[in-house]
Amino acid sequence: MIFGVLLLLFPVPQTGDTAKLAIDSSAAISDSATKDSTTSTAPTTVAANLFALPSAPSPKVKTDAELAAEPAPAFTPGAPIKPAAHPQYETPRQKKVWYALMAASHAGAAFDAWSTRRAISGGFGTEANPLLRPFAHSNALYAATQVSPAVMDFLGKRMMTSNHEWIRRFWWLPQTAGASMSFAAGAHNVGVVH
């Protein structure tokens, strides 16, 4: 581990770079020798060739002058424009109906749980839903029956704000179906007990 730290602190030059440097310097010496023999304008040294900086890459960003010189993109009247935000499709009336359906579906689920607990504790039947059967003999049934109305509320809200018109027409259907099933199951359980 100490050896690794020492290598990180004091790096050793790589042999591939050293060989490349030696090849480049010999090429620079031969180039300078041929230049000196043909024309003697300015003497070049090997050290100047070795430490010469490479040419800089061209910039990828345009300058302000280049941007100002470009013509502005033409607006085509037939091209569709995407709105910045999706329009709100829900109306205040729909929101009120959604909240009313939410309250009705959760009340129906609580009524179903109460009537199921009453029927099971009286010995009149068993829970038919296999997902709710583990909760049937405890008060956890009240919380477990609230999952389905919550999912239907979410689905109804998503349908109400959908981009598709045909889906927005039937946004109320999941909540109404869930609430009616809960009230029907609760009424059945009360009928079994009496």
Per-residue pLDDT of the chain (194 residues; tens, 9 = 90+): 776 766 677 766 655 555 555 555 555 555 555 555 555 555 556 666 666 777 777 777 777 777 777 776 666 666 677 766 766 778 899 999 999 999 999 999 999 999 999 999 888 888 888 888 899 888 999 999 999 999 999 999 999 998 888 999 999 999 999 999 999 999 999 999 88
Span 25-73, pLDDT tens digits: 555 555 555 555 555 555 556 666 666 777 777 777 777 777 777 776 6
The tokens describing 130, both together, are 């296999």
What letter would DSSP give residue 134?
G
Residue 49 structure tokens: 């060739």
Q: Look up tokens 């790096």; give the residue.
A: 11
CA pair distance 159, 183, nearest whole angstrom: 23
Rounded to a whole number of angstroms, the CA Rg of the chain reads 40
| Residue of 116, 126, 125 whose CA lies nearest to 183 | 116
Calpha distance 64→86 (Å, rounded):
35
The candidate with the shortest Cα–Cα distance to 94, out of 35, 16, 156, is 156
Q: At what angle do helices 173-193 and 147-160 cross, to 10 degrees?
A: 160
Q: How big, in percent rounded to 5, are the helix, strand and coil portions of the chain?
A: 60, 0, 40
